[in-house]
Structure 1
Amino acid sequence: MNSRQPVSMLPISMLIVASFLGTLSLTGCQPTAKPADDDQVSSQSEADSKPGVQSDSAAARIEEFEPLYVKEMQELQQRLQAEYEALQAADAPDSSSILPNSVSKPTPNDTDKNTDTDSTTTAATSENTASNADTSAVSTDKAGAEINTSTEVGERDLEVLKLIRIGPRKPSLLTENQLIERYQQAMQALYEPASIPLSAQDIDTLLNIMTLLPELFEHAEIAERVSIKSPALARLITQHQVWQQIEVQQALDMEQMKINQQQEFEALMKKFNDTIESYDEQIAKYEQTLEEFQ
Structure 2
Amino acid sequence: MAGVGGEQLEMPGMPRRLFPATPSKLATFADCPRRYRYAYVDRPTPPKGPPWAHNTVGSAVHAALRSWWDAPRDRRTAAAARQLLYGVWSDTGFRDAGQSARWRARAAGWLTDYLATVDPDDEPVGLERQVAATTPVLALSGRVDRIDQRGDELVVVDYKTGRVPSTEDEARGSPALAFYVLGVQRTLRRPCRRVELHHLPSGTVAAFEHTERSLANHVRRAEDVAADIATATQRVEDGVHPDEAFPTVTGRQCGWCDFRPSCPAGQAATPARETWSFLPADDDADDDAAGR
Give the TM-score range, shorter chain: under 0.3
Larger proportion of helix: 1
Structure with larger RCO (C-alpha < 8 A, sep 6+) = 1
TM-score (norm 1): 0.19
TM-score (norm 2): 0.19
Larger proportion of strand: 2
